[in-house]
Amino acid sequence: MNLTDRPRRLRRDGVRGLVSENRVSASDLIAPVFVDATTDERIPIESMPGHERVSVDDAVDRVEEILETGVEAVMLFGIPESKDELGTRAWAEDGVVQRATRDIAAETDAYVITDVCLCEYTDHGHCGVIEDHADENPTLTVKNDETLDLLGKIAVSHAEAGAQMVAPSSMTDGMVGAIREALDAERFDDVPIMSYAVKYQSAFYGPFRDAADGAPAFGDRRHYQMDPANAREALREARLDVEQGADVLMIKPALPYLDIVNAIRREFDHPVAAYNVSGEYAMLQAAAEKGWLDLEEVAMESLVSMKRAGADLILTYFAEQVADQL
Ligand code: PBG
């Protein structure tokens, strides 16, 4: 046997690193942070071991902990003191995210990204203005165009508080254009939009809905989030967001949708973000707790697979752990 091509030659220690095609670095990672206006202590999130909701007063300390690991960016989610039908606390000047953002921007060097959505702020838990009688009729959910104004207001209120990037996650048609227009009208034309461009209606968000208390009170999100069966539609969603001025295109979830991450990477030249969501985190944590998987190894392998698929940025609950490992 005459084997001339032996890939194993390049797998030895010393050369492996030289020929390595992808690597995860702390500067690629964004750590989600949950700020809770209803508490003054840290509340552990049971389905997401290692994560807690923190009070507004504690937000700066929480972000400092993240920065110490080498991660430089955070994504803020808020749990408001009260909810109502329209989600008015989402754009309040003294809202939970606005207050936390103001403190974090003033006191830390973190790059602050805010999630722009209504589901944590509405009493029905949907991501926008609800249709009349939606609770009795599962084909009705969110009024698209009425929601756009509210999203613009939320984004502006975040930018006023000092958010450096906004990330709309409601899958409202036209949301990127509406937010861009609202920001520009208030002279926030330098605040980029990271669009949750391709957000699937996924059961992998389960633990997040405990963490942020944003589960829909009735029905589900299939009338606005994408069908997991669809790939061509993902390109269409991304194209619409690019046309409306999105700066970064996010795909969510990540691991079950790496084909989509790769397709978006190939089709567009915008930076691509992958959201390694709560359920992806929880399943590895649960298996590791049982001793079935090595947590450090599977976390790193997951993130490198996202880089390999084409992600530039990764939102992940493993951010601190992986940055520490690096
Ligand atoms: C909506 C939002 C959700 C997540 C991020 N933003 C929940 C949803 O769409 O149901 C999920 C994140 C995760 O699961 O980690 N504001």
Q: How far apart are CA 204 and CA 252, in angstroms?
A: 10
Q: For 131-162, give one letter per residue: b (16+ CB within 10 A) or e.
A: beebeeeeeebbbbeebbebbbbbbbbbbebe
Residues with CB under 6 A from ligand 1: 115, 117, 119, 169, 205, 208-209, 214, 277-278
Q: What is the average pLDDT score of the chain?
A: 95
Q: For 218-250, give one letter per residue: b (16+ CB within 10 A) or e.
A: ebebebbbbebeeeeebbebbbbbbebbbbbbb
From 30, 53, 89, 117, mutation site for ligand 1 pocket: most ligand atoms within 8 A of C-beta: 117
Distance 15 CA to ligand 1 centre (A): 40
Query: Based on the structure, what is the number of domains in the chain?
Result: 1
Determine the pLDDT at residue 261.
98
282 or 125, which is more confident: 282
User: Is the CA virtual torsion 279, 74, 21, 269 positive or negative?
Assistant: positive
What is the residue range of 57's domain? 23-325
Measuring CA to CA, which residue among 283, 235, 244, 241 is closest to residue 262? 235
Beta carbons of 275 and 248 less than 8 angstroms apart: no
Q: How far apart are CA 198 and CA 169, in angstroms?
A: 9
* Phi, psi dihedral angles at 33 (to 5 degrees): -130, 135
The answer, yes or no, to whether residue 133 has pLDDT greater than 90, is no
Q: What is the pTM of this model?
A: 0.95
Inside any domain, residue 17: no
Inside any domain, residue 6: no
Tell me which residues are annotated as active site.
Answer: 199, 252
Determine the pLDDT at residue 130.
87
- The mean pLDDT value for 279-302 works out to 98
Q: Tell the residue nearest (CA) to atom 11 of ligand 1.
A: 205
Distance 196 CA to ligand 1 centre (A): 10
- The mean pLDDT value for 264-287 works out to 98
- The mean pLDDT value for 96-101 works out to 98
Determine the pLDDT at residue 67.
98
Distance 208 CA to ligand 1 centre (A): 6
Measuring CA to CA, which residue among 210, 212, 307, 323 is closest to residue 258? 307
Tens of pLDDT, residues 197-235:
999 999 999 999 888 887 788 888 888 899 999 999 999
Q: Binning pLDDT at 50, 70 and 90, where does residue 314 land?
A: very high
Tens of pLDDT, residues 104-120:
999 999 999 999 999 99
Q: Tell the residue nearest (CA) to atom 14 of ligand 1.
A: 205
Inside any domain, residue 28: yes
The CATH number of residue 204's host domain is: 3.20.20.70
User: Is the CA virtual torsion 258, 262, 267, 271 positive or negative?
Assistant: positive
Q: Tell the residue nearest (CA) to atom 6 of ligand 1.
A: 169
